[in-house]
């Protein structure tokens, strides 16, 4: 007996149109006003998806989806995905001084953290020592204070660098310095660089529009970031010295598709600097990871990761001529969010769990997530534990990780992936026309799209078009629980005393010679990492090194004309 032939897409479309008419038309007049079914990135969501939608976008399985770990990497960056190589359970933490932060790290590791990403306080991120006037009242407030190698030694006391799958930090504007600190830490612990993995964000270009911890003008800042990548290409190719970030750009209002386009433009700028130095694309592309972000729409989050990998793979092969699969397979770090609210903070537990589940289903490589009280304060020990346990539940329970790309082939997900991919490509083309990554800053484009996007989101919330439980649905007053984290008020005093002791006890001639070498490297246009590493070994401070950069390149002055 022959099996009946499946209907052609046109026949499916006819039946879908009939279903829609019968389902929705009778209730159209009586139905109360509902939210518009439009995603945060402006894609209208249909009530039903069928094979006709795939035909409409010209979907070809082998060309557009393929297999995990193979071009175009839509379905995953590694062959077995979470079934054979589970996503890395990560924790992002840092507060106060190195001693108290070390105790939190040990507890996180004890309960299963596989990666520690260190949250740095704002003075450290901006290149100021704890005793600088610009650090007043900020030491240890939104991260841990790191002034010298002595702080790193205390921060990882009893935590061998090779005992975790990765260690790292953001350090966007001080990339070569934090890279050197981790390299020197391994030396102090007697662990060769090839035996542990350092992960840095080291993406200064997004700071100018998204976060504000920029130090230098954009062009030299990008050069210093590329120095860290170049050094790793030669000395620590197993490290991850740059994670180009969408997260803060999307959070600021740009939206995940345009935010991804801006991040890819930044990545292209860094790669251009490295290729101009004579490195091949296959030497440096595997060292770059991406940090995608979509916190408002579950399925857009999945589609965004799939579209990003496909876009990256095709860009690496077709634009740059990459040959190695490692160059074309985009590894992703994600931070699980879920539109956290100040009201009733415990509701943020399911929010972040669902947001992170989308990343897991989308095939993220490294995953950490916001604690439920992060909208209120620095996470307390209990909320940090809940966040880590949430990741472990997603990794080991309910079968979420049993198969690769479990939503691949969904009429909705494949259609949405193609639509998001086209938005990313359109954004990249627009950015290319205005001068690439630096043009985003020079023309005010980045600030404009983030501001407009933030206003658009707020209006949607105010109108109730984007439902937000306890905010515009069943609104409640903000709630700061008694359990909210309170920093040790003595931490800053301890940090200042420790910094003074380090300065008094180090070899001043050795520090002076090392800083002079940093100055020469900057003046000659050489890679700064070797000289910075020498300075770090001599216990030069973050601020002393950054001051040399400022004296050479000047400080960033924002353009207020647009």
pLDDT tens for 84-95 read: 999 999 999 999
- Higher pLDDT: 14 or 386? It is 386
Q: Where are the domains of the chain?
A: 72-462
**Residue 248 CB contacts under 8 Å (≥ 6 apart), including other chains:** 206, 210, 211, 293
Tens digit of pLDDT for each residue in 318-377? 999 999 999 999 999 999 988 899 999 999 999 999 999 999 999 999 999 999 998 888
Q: What is the pLDDT of residue 393?
A: 96
Q: What is the pLDDT of residue 25?
A: 74
Ramachandran angles phi, psi of 328, nearest 5°: -90, -20
What is the share, in percent, of the chain residues with pLDDT greater than 70? 96
| Mean pLDDT (whole number) for 243-256 | 96
The structure tokens listed for 382 are 């209990």
d(CA 121, CA 75): 37
Q: What is the pLDDT of residue 16?
A: 85
Residue (of 171, 169, 182, 162) closest to 221 by Cα position: 171
Tens digit of pLDDT for each residue in 120-177? 999 999 999 999 999 999 999 999 999 999 999 999 999 999 999 999 999 999 999 9
Cβ(91)–Cβ(112) below 8 Å: no
d(CA 252, CA 181): 30
Q: Residue 427: which H helix or E strand, with range? A: helix 411-433
Work out the pLDDT band at 195, boundaries 50, 70, 90: very high
Residue 476 reports pLDDT greater than 90: yes
d(CA 548, CA 392): 44
Q: How far is CA 550 from CA 126, 217, 476, 555, in A?
A: 11, 9, 47, 6
SS3 at position 391: helix
Work out the pLDDT band at 26, boundaries 50, 70, 90: confident
Q: What is the pLDDT of residue 301?
A: 98
Flag the least confident range among 14-28, 98-112, 538-552.
Answer: 14-28
Work out the pLDDT band at 216, boundaries 50, 70, 90: very high
The structure tokens listed for 58 are 């010209």
Work out the pLDDT band at 1, boundaries 50, 70, 90: very low
Secondary structure E strands in 151-195: 166-169
Q: Residue 367: which H helix or E strand, with range? A: strand 366-369
Q: What is the pLDDT of residue 562?
A: 58
Q: Which residues of 234-268 are buried (b: 16+ CB within 10 A; e: fewer)?
A: eebeebbbbbbbbbbbbbbbbbbbbbbbbbbbbbb
The structure tokens listed for 15 are 């039946």
Tens digit of pLDDT for each residue in 271-307? 999 999 999 999 999 999 999 999 899 999 999 999 9
d(CA 479, CA 316): 47
| Mean pLDDT (whole number) for 542-562 | 90
Residue (of 347, 311, 346) closest to 329 by Cα position: 311
- Output the average pLDDT for the chain: 94
**Residue 557 CB contacts under 8 Å (≥ 6 apart), including other chains:** none
- Residue whose token pair is 């901006």: 126
Q: What is the pLDDT of residue 400?
A: 96
Give alpha helix (H) positions in 285-410: 298-314, 325-328, 348-362, 381-396
Q: What is the pLDDT of residue 8?
A: 63
Cβ(238)–Cβ(168) below 8 Å: no
Pick the CATH number of 72-462 from 3.10.580.10, 1.10.1740.10, 3.20.20.240, 3.90.480.20: 3.20.20.240
Residue (of 101, 146, 138, 87) closest to 379 by Cα position: 101
């Amino acid at each position: 007996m022959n099996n009946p032939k499946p209907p052609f897409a046109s026949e499916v479309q006819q039946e879908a149109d009939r279903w829609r008419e019968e389902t929705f038309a009778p209730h159209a007049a009586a139905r109360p006003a509902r939210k518009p079914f439009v995603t945060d990135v402006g894609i209208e969501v249909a009530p039903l998806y069928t094979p006709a939608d795939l035909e409409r976008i010209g979907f070809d399985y082998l060309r557009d989806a393929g297999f995990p770990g193979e071009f175009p990497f839509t379905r995953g960056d590694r062959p077995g995905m979470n079934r054979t190589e589970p996503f890395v359970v990560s924790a992002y933490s840092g507060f106060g001084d190195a001693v108290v932060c070390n105790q939190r790290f040990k507890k996180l590791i004890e309960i299963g953290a596989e990666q520690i990403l260190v949250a740095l306080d704002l003075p450290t991120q901006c290149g100021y020592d704890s005793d600088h006037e610009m650090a007043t009242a900020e030491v240890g407030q939104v991260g841990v204070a790191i002034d010298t190698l002595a702080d790193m030694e205390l921060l990882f006391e009893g935590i061998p660098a090779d005992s975790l799958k990765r260690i790292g930090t953001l350090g966007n504007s001080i990339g070569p310095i934090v890279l050197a600190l981790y390299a020197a830490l391994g030396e102090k612990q007697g662990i060769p660089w090839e035996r542990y993995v350092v992960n840095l964000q080291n993406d200064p270009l997004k700071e100018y529009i998204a976060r504000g911890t920029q130090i230098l003008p954009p062009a030299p800042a990008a050069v210093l970031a590329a120095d860290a990548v170049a050094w790793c290409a030669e000395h620590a190719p197993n490290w991850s010295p740059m994670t180009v970030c969408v997260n803060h750009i999307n959070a600021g209002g740009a939206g995940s598709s345009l935010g991804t386009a801006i991040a890819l433009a930044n990545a292209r700028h860094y790669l251009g600097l490295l290729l101009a130095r004579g490195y091949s694309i296959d030497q440096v592309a595997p060292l770059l990871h991406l940090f995608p972000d979509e916190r408002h729409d579950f399925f857009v989050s999945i589609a965004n990761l799939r579209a990003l990998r496909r876009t990256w793979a095709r860009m690496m092969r077709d634009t740059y001529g990459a040959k190695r699969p490692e160059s074309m397979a985009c590894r992703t770090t994600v931070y699980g969010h879920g539109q956290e609210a100040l009201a009733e903070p415990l509701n943020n537990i399911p929010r972040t769990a669902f947001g992170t589940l989308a990343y897991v289903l989308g095939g993220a490589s490294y995953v950490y997530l916001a604690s439920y009280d992060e909208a209120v304060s620095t996470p307390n020990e209990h909320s940090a534990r809940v966040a880590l346990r949430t990741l472990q539940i997603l990794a080991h329970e309910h079968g979420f990780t049993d198969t690769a790309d479990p939503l691949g082939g969904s009429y909705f997900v494949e259609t949405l992936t193609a639509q998001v991919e086209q938005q990313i490509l359109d954004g990249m083309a627009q950015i290319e026309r205005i001068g690439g990554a630096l043009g985003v800053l020079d023309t005010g484009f980045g600030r404009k799209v983030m501001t407009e996007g933030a206003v658009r989101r707020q209006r949607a919330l105010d109108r109730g078009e984007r439902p937000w439980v306890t905010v515009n649905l069943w609104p409640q007053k903000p709630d700061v629980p008694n359990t909210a984290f309170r920093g040790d008020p003595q931490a800053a005093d301890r940090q200042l005393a420790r910094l003074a002791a380090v300065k008094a006890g180090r070899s001043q001639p050795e520090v002076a010679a090392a800083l002079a070498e940093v100055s020469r490297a900057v003046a000659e246009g050489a890679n700064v990492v070797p000289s910075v590493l020498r300075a770090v070994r001599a216990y030069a401070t973050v601020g002393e090194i950054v001051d040399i950069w400022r004296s050479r390149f000047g400080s960033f002055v924002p353009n207020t004309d647009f």
